[in-house]
Amino acid sequence: MNESKSILLVGVGGQGTILASKLLTYGLLESGYDVKMSEIHGMSQRGGSVSTQIRFGDKVYAPTIGYAEADLLVSFEEMETYRWLEYLKPTGKVILNNYRLPSAPILAGSADYPEGIIPEINEKVDATVLDATKIAKDLGNPKATNVVLLGALIKTMGLMDMDWESIIKANVKPQYVEGNIKALYKGMELM
């Protein structure tokens, strides 16, 4: 009944999930799709778990993604992948950045970072594990992790033909344009 596709991007406040989502929605919009995007504001700047939800198709109604509804889960942080896994369709795909950002209770020594997440996810669903943060660092800008992951996502979705360079130019500060374009192509190469 519903032909719309649902993509969930998750991470930790400050990782750039929102910018990546924004760039993706502009690309989808230019491809002629109906697009909706939803995010929860509030305390995300303060190191909380963040998610942006993107839905596209001929006609999209709900702007949000519920349990077992996402076709793709792109995660910027290891544990966040696991937190949001229930939102993925059992047949859905995961793109996972194997980067750990310990949360406050872990940093304060009152909890441990969970082990064995990646093998468990690999066992349960079709997952691609990337070292996007290292790749971005090697390109000279660790903050471009989000765009590396966006590149990987775009390739997975088969949207490489869009004019992503113009979209980046229109939405990123001039000094970061070149680095982000490089990061995007590098991300595409990974898939």
Residues that bind another protein (CB under 8 A): 1-2, 12, 25-26, 29, 34-43, 45-49, 60-64, 66-69, 79, 82-83, 85-86, 88, 90, 102-109, 111-114, 117, 124-125
Residue placing its CB nearer to another protein in the complex, 18 or 188: 18
Residue placing its CB nearer to another protein in the complex, 11 or 179: 11
Smallest separation (angstroms) from another protein to the CB of 170: 12
Smallest separation (angstroms) from another protein to the CB of 108: 5
Q: Residue length, the chain?
A: 191
Cα separation, 2 vs 12, whole angstroms: 30
Smallest separation (angstroms) from another protein to the CB of 74: 16
Instruction: Report residue 163 CA to chain centroid gap.
Output: 19
Would you say 97 and 75 are in contact if contact means Cβ atoms under 8 Å apart?
yes
Cα separation, 38 vs 7, whole angstroms: 11
Cα separation, 70 vs 63, whole angstroms: 12
| Residues in a beta bridge with 100 | none
Residue owning tokens 């009944």: 1
Smallest separation (angstroms) from another protein to the CB of 104: 5
Cα separation, 18 vs 15, whole angstroms: 8
CA dihedral (138, 139, 143, 144) positive or negative:
negative
Smallest separation (angstroms) from another protein to the CB of 116: 8
Smallest separation (angstroms) from another protein to the CB of 17: 14
CA atoms within 13 A on the CB side of 159: 25
